[in-house]
Amino acid sequence: MLIAVIADNSHIRVHGFKGDGKMDFAASIATEPRQTADYYACMAEQLFALGGVKKDEITGVVLGSVVPQLTRALSSALHSVTGRRVLSVSSGVRTGLNIRSDQPQQVGADRVAAAVAAKARGKLPCIIADCGAAITFTVLDKDGTLCASAIAAGVRMSLEALHASSAQLPTVALEDGAVCEVMARNTADAMRVGAAVGAAAMIDGMVARYAAALGDTPQVWLTGDSVQLVSWHLQTCWEGADDLAFEGLRLIWEKNHPDR
């Protein structure tokens, strides 16, 4: 079994893939950047035990971390628990992805992995809209080159920023799948509309602008833990791809271990 791990600012997600490439195990814990390798080793032991994963079944470990202060501790923890050398996605790892950027090393490992998987799926050009703490756009042209990116505040981040910077604006919750009526008639609903419908309108607008720049209608992959907050309000045609980054990690591991 291949263990694939994505660490971002809110969660550490773990997936296990069988030899046929099908996912057999999934778990997650909250990100704690100040914790030690020993702490994460304990967490990994518990997650594997709960998921029925036996250590002698693990054939490899690949890590995509966008939290620099956590990467070393998490890599050390995974190595100590599994006994396997951890492949951490970085600028020195073979991905097969051409990144057209002034600073390619600064493209997040999760976005690189998602782009690798999107390229492999073959629906090009494409846009990966990741609705997480931030909303990120990763654009691949018809040749599969990562040619453009954009980063904006996510839905919940927008609401938190409004409350933090404005004394009269309340703390507002959003429920996954809830449909916001655009004709809001109170402050809380107005904030929900601004965050959720506004995010959807931004995605629609960005997709249209990228389509014009690419000269073609792109495939749109939608992923991230806030998808259910914005998807109801999108006019853009899209396909869900929550497993995209993990699929990419698996492909990257296979590219760097061709004999396995």
Q: Which residues are catalytic?
A: 110
CB atoms under 10 Å from CB of 237, counted, come to 9
Tokens of 44: 């990994």
Axis crossing angle, helix 37-50 with helix 68-82, rounded to the nearest 10: 50
- Residue 37's Cβ-count burial label (10 Å; 0-12, 13-18, 19+) is middle
Cis peptide before 125 (omega within 30 of 0): yes
- Across the beta sheet with 2-7, the strand order is 23-30, 11-17, 2-7, 60-65, 86-88
- Residue 134's Cβ-count burial label (10 Å; 0-12, 13-18, 19+) is middle
Eight-class DSSP state of 69: H
Which residues, other chains included, contact 24 with Cβ-Cβ below 8 Å and sequence gap of 6+?
Answer: 1, 16, 17, 18
- Do residues 60 and 84 touch, judged by C-beta distance below 8 A? yes
Measure the N-to-C terminal CA separation of the chain; round to a whole number of Å: 12
Q: Quote the CA–CA distance of 58 and 103 in Å, as a whole number.
A: 34
Tokens of 178: 């809830």
Q: In terms of DSSP H, where are the helices of the chain?
A: 37-50, 68-82, 109-121, 155-165, 187-192, 198-214, 227-230, 244-256
